[in-house]
Amino acid sequence: MKAKVVRGRKVRYAVVGLGWISQAAFLPGMEHTGNSEIVALVTGHQEKAQKVGEKYGIQRHYHYDEYDALLASGEIDAVYLALPNFDHAKYAVRTLKAGISLLLEKPMAVSVEECEQIIAASQETGAKLMIAYRLHHEPGTLEALRLVRDGELGAVRMFSSVFSQQVAATNHRAKYGYWAGPVADMGVYPLNAVRNLFGAEPIEVFATGVCTDPGRFDFDDTVSVVLKFEGNRIAQLCLTYNGGDVDELRVVGNKGDLQLEPAYQVGSAIAHVKTVAKKMDRKTFPKTDHFGGELKYFSDCILNDREPEADGEEGLLDVRVLVAIEESLKTGRLIRLDPRHRSRRPGKEPGPDAGCGGGAGFGRSKEAQRGMTPRRSDHLCLTFSAGGHFLEKSGSDRPVHRLLQTIIWRLLRSASIPRHPGLLWRRQCSLPDVSLKRFLGWAG
């Protein structure tokens, strides 16, 4: 079945799962979108559906047993799926195979294999798939990414984060093992943050944990994780279900550091403390509707046939690390991961048709959108900061292009070459048949 095409009207959503996140955050965010509406609710509790339906004027209510009938009804274009993590794959695959686009809560699933099944279902029908990384649309988070990419902290070396809260014994997250615990539930936030701040994927994982209250939890409720990245960069994540409310991260470079506190919580005003050369700057960002922002963005992708930035690959890359953490907790061993590269990052999308710092969802090749391996290309995209620090390369992997990268870097470090913020070079050429001057094509 092909994906449903939506044009000239609002995207119609069904909400699957009426837990806290749906009622307290997602449903209220709908009114801030302008391009979306909720027309159906799916839950196992009829009384809850009636109460929520009356509050938001939603008349169509379905039990989980009736889900396939809803998918075939023609009443919806997309689904917001907020079920327990171990139910994600079962409902996600059915949704996407029915041609219905899917906004899926994180973590994406409970195994890499399940993530691959969900991605394959999206590719089969062309239905849009986005993982609900709400902070990818939050101004304070995007500004932190910009500061690091522009080299304001110098070369980033390490990251640390503490995320702590109290979870009651009556909460469903207090049972059901690792995938209901603090690593899968809370750890995905600092994990996703460091992957994107570093612009890289972990290559080594080690974790240790303790259960501080066996009467309340059936897993390690307090966990410390160490991640190693290429380029000799390290991250530490400390997570607990049995601590006071703490919500912070810090990224450290060789010129300074940036601290976010709060860093993750919904409804919070993200705050920055940046210290460079012993000079401290503080900035608090206005509260924004994280859910309204991500929902408006996803609906825009559906309406304009664009691939979301936080796609299935983004979700899979987090899940593969969560799986490695689980293995390390079980075995006490260091877990090594295969090197992976992801060119798409929140707030900035290099690609053959994208401008420097292009918005999420733009500039992605047709091959990448379809999950295919891109053709080998002569495109070379190099991004440097205003200070001449190399940030990233995409496109060509030819040896002569790698040499050119080094040459440009040396030129930039020279006082005779003007420096521009966020320089981007992109040319299609057959080196060495073009001159260096022609290839550079300055863009500021």
- Quick: pLDDT tens for 148-183: 999 999 999 999 999 999 999 999 899 899 999 999
Buried b (16+ CB within 10 A) or exposed e, 254-264: ebbbbbbbbbb
Over residues 33-55, mean pLDDT: 96
Cβ burial of 324 (10 Å; 0-12, 13-18, 19+) is buried
Over residues 326-337, mean pLDDT: 98
**Going edge to edge, which strands form the sheet with 256-260?**
279-284, 271-276, 256-260, 242-253, 156-166, 233-240, 222-229, 202-210, 335-336
What are the residues whose beta carbons fall under 8 Å from the beta carbon of 5, sequence distance 6 or more?
A: none
Four-CA torsion 325, 326, 327, 331, nearest 10 degrees = 100
Over residues 260-272, mean pLDDT: 92
Write the single-letter amino acid at 389: H
Which residue's entry shows tokens 């990224």? 251
Q: Where in the chain is the domain with CATH 3.40.50.720?
A: 11-135+292-310
Phi, psi of 284 (to 5 degrees): -115, 130
* Whole-angstrom distance, CA of residue 185 vs CA of residue 110: 11
* Whole-angstrom distance, CA of residue 226 vs CA of residue 334: 10
Which pLDDT belongs to residue 411? 57
Q: Is the pTM of this model over 0.85?
A: no
* Whole-angstrom distance, CA of residue 40 vs CA of residue 70: 9
Over residues 331-355, mean pLDDT: 76
* Whole-angstrom distance, CA of residue 307 vs CA of residue 397: 25
Q: Of the ranges 79-88, 233-242, 365-374, 404-413, which one carries the lowest mean pLDDT score?
A: 365-374
Which CATH number fits the domain 11-135+292-310, given the four candidates 3.40.50.720, 3.90.550.10, 3.40.1480.10, 1.10.1760.20? 3.40.50.720
For all residues of the chain together, what is the average pLDDT? 84
pLDDT over threshold 50, residue 335: yes
Q: Where in the chain is the domain with CATH 3.30.360.10?
A: 139-285+321-336
Which pLDDT belongs to residue 399? 52
Which CATH number fits the domain 139-285+321-336, given the four candidates 3.30.360.10, 3.40.50.720, 3.20.20.70, 2.60.40.2130? 3.30.360.10
Tell me how many degrees the CA angle 232-160-194 measures, rounded to the nearest 5.
65
Band (404; pLDDT cuts 50, 70, 90): low
57, 29, 53: which is closest to 43 by C-alpha? 53
- Quick: pLDDT tens for 418-436: 333 333 333 333 333 333 4
Which pLDDT belongs to residue 391? 39
pLDDT over threshold 70, residue 28: yes
